[in-house]
């Protein structure tokens, strides 16, 4: 059966890096035909048409159709996988309330359209920032969709952490298991090496504490800014790659003895208030995320998790005060 994948902000940088990989089968596998729906704001429809022309020109065997629209009710009609990439970026001098309001105007109606028109098995990944809170807004407008179908992306932070650790310990990334990103997809997120295993041993015990605290954590947290500084543009291909990884793992499951990171609706685990969309160590089986339970959290990790969760609470309170959820 053809799977309908909707990408919002389809004419943007991440959209450009994402669509070709979806159409080539890297999101759902080489046996799954896909149809793409490209949602854009009206002024960007022409650019989306250009991307669609290039998609046509690839003659992808799995690609069954492309729809381009500025109407969320059309874009999300029958959608199975929704990748919410388009968002209002923070511009210089913009107040946080204005940023959240602008995104409420995007993610509220998209949540409603998903509620009314999506397929029963819809899975939603929010990439557009502030991703966790945008996911919260969309979810709150989709009361008929199970809450656990709304997720936000911390897989890029996860992959960045894998790559930094792999370089430090001079091991292939495939030897690293159980990496965890906690909290908000923002510079407060916490990459935790106290449960990560390298060659079967805890990673935090294989690196010195100073490197972990003063190099590893800030490098992962500030990687986005470092890429802007170097490239003169935001990361796009790596963000698209992480979105592919997130959905691929969600649908196909995590490997035995391993887990990944995703921002999912909290059930109160690890003291994260219920209902917040926060990053956790998660496994996936049968198309469902499960938060890994029973990990010991030491004081160092607790402080950092609490800080990031505090930021999520503040964002939630702000969107609540603005009437966006
Ligand atoms: P990008 O494609 O580069 O980024 C899109 C969103 O992804 C931004 O919110 C960005 O956040 C976020 N993001 C999350 N993780 C990352 C990461 N690691 N690196 C970079 N970005 C990340 O933006 P463009 O401006 O190129 O494209 C956005 C498109 O969205 C435009 O074409 C615009 O027209 C469209 N849009 C569509 C809407 C809709 O469909 N209704 C609504 C709003 C916009 P950050 O800003 O923090 O980098």
Share above pLDDT 90 across residues of the chain, in percent, rounded to a whole number: 94
Quote the pLDDT of residue 39. 98
- Cβ pair 23, 55 in contact under 8 A: yes
- Cβ pair 123, 114 in contact under 8 A: no
Q: How many CB atoms lie within 10 A of CB 228?
A: 12
Q: Is 206 annotated as a binding residue?
A: no
Strands in 197-198's sheet, in edge-to-edge order, are: 176-177, 197-198, 201-202
What confidence tens digit (pLDDT) does each residue in 207-250 have? 999 999 999 999 999 999 999 999 999 899 999 999 999 999 99
Average pLDDT over residues 292-320: 97
Quote the pLDDT of residue 90. 79
- Please indicate whether residue 283, judged by its CB atom, sits closer than 6 Å to ligand 1: no
| Tokens 């543009």 sit on residue | 233
76 Cβ neighbours under 8 A, 6+ residues apart = 6, 37, 39, 82, 110, 113, 114, 117, 118
Distance CA 231, CA 157 (A): 18
Share above pLDDT 70 across residues of the chain, in percent, rounded to a whole number: 100
Q: Is 10 annotated as a binding residue?
A: yes
Strand partners, 177: 197
Distance CA 155, CA 235 (A): 14
Closest of 189, 167, 4, 142 to residue 81, by C-alpha:
4
Q: Is 82 annotated as a binding residue?
A: no
CA 133 – ligand 1 centroid, Å: 15
Residues recorded for the chain: 325
Closest of 51, 23, 27, 68 to residue 241, by C-alpha:
27
Atom of ligand 1 nearest to the CA of 39: 40
Quote the pLDDT of residue 91. 81
Distance CA 131, CA 250 (A): 18
Q: Which two three-digit tokens encode residue 189?
A: 């997120």
Average pLDDT over residues 38-49: 98
| ipTM, interface predicted TM-score of the complex | 0.92
Report CA 86 to chain centroid distance, whole Å.
Answer: 12
- Cβ pair 283, 259 in contact under 8 A: yes
Please indicate, yes or no, whether the overall pTM of this predicted structure exceeds 0.90. yes
* Ligand 1 pocket test target in 82, 87, 107, 221 with most atoms within 8 Å of CB: 87
- Please indicate whether residue 83, judged by its CB atom, sits closer than 6 Å to ligand 1: no
- Check the CA dihedral 183-189-190-196 and report its sign: positive
Distance CA 229, CA 207 (A): 28
Task: Using pLDDT thresholds of 50, 70 and 90, give the confidence band for residue 93.
Answer: confident
* Ligand 1 pocket test target in 7, 12, 124 with most atoms within 8 Å of CB: 12
Give the HSE-up count for residue 266: Cα atoms under 13 Å, Cβ half-sphere.
Answer: 22
* Alpha carbon distance, N-terminus to C-terminus of the chain: 35
CA 57 – ligand 1 centroid, Å: 25
Distance CA 47, CA 9 (A): 11
Is residue 174 predicted with pLDDT exceeding 90? yes
Name the residue with the closest Cα to ligand 1, atom 46: 89
Q: Which two three-digit tokens encode residue 43?
A: 């002024």
DSSP annotation string for 18-80 = HHHHHHTTTTT-TT--EEEEEE--GGGHHHHHHHHHHHHHTT-TTEEEEEEES-HHHHTTT-S
- The residues that are catalytic are 185
Q: How many CB atoms lie within 10 A of CB 120?
A: 9
Distance CA 207, CA 223 (A): 20
- Cβ pair 177, 195 in contact under 8 A: no
């Amino acid at each position: 059966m053809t799977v309908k994948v909707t990408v919002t902000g389809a004419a943007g940088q991440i959209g450009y890096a994402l669509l070709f990989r979806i159409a080539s089968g890297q999101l759902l596998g080489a046996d799954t035909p896909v149809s793409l729906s490209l949602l854009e704001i009206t002024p960007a429809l022409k650019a989306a048409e250009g991307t669609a022309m290039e998609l046509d020109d690839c003659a992808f065997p799995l690609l069954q159709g492309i729809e381009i629209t500025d109407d969320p009710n059309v874009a999300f009609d029958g959608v199975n996988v929704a990748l919410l990439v388009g968002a209002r970026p923070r511009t210089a001098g913009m107040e946080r309330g204005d940023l959240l309001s602008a995104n409420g105007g995007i993610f509220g109606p998209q949540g409603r359209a998903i509620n009314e028109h999506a397929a029963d098995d819809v899975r939603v990944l929010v990439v557009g920032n502030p991703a966790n809170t945008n996911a919260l807004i969309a979810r709150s407008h989709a009361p008929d969709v199970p809450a656990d179908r709304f997720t936000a992306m911390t897989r890029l932070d996860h992959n960045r952490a894998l790559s930094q650790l792999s370089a430090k310990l001079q091991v292939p990334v495939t030897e690293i298991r159980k990496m965890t990103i906690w909290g908000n997809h923002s510079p407060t997120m916490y990459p935790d090496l106290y449960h990560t295993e390298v060659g079967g041993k805890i990673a935090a015990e294989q690196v010195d504490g100073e490197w972990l605290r003063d190099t590893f954590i800030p490098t992962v947290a500030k990687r986005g800014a470092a890429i802007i500084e170097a490239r003169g543009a935001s990361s796009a291909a790596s963000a698209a790659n992480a979105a592919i990884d997130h959905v691929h793992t969600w649908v196909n499951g995590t490997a035995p003895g391993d887990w990944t990171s995703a921002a999912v609706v909290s059930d109160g685990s690890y003291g994260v208030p219920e209902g917040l969309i926060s990053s956790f160590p998660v496994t996936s089986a049968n198309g469902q995320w499960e938060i890994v339970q029973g990990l010991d959290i030491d004081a160092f990790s607790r402080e950092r998790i609490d800080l990031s969760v505090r930021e999520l609470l503040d964002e939630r309170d702000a969107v609540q005060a603005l009437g966006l959820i």
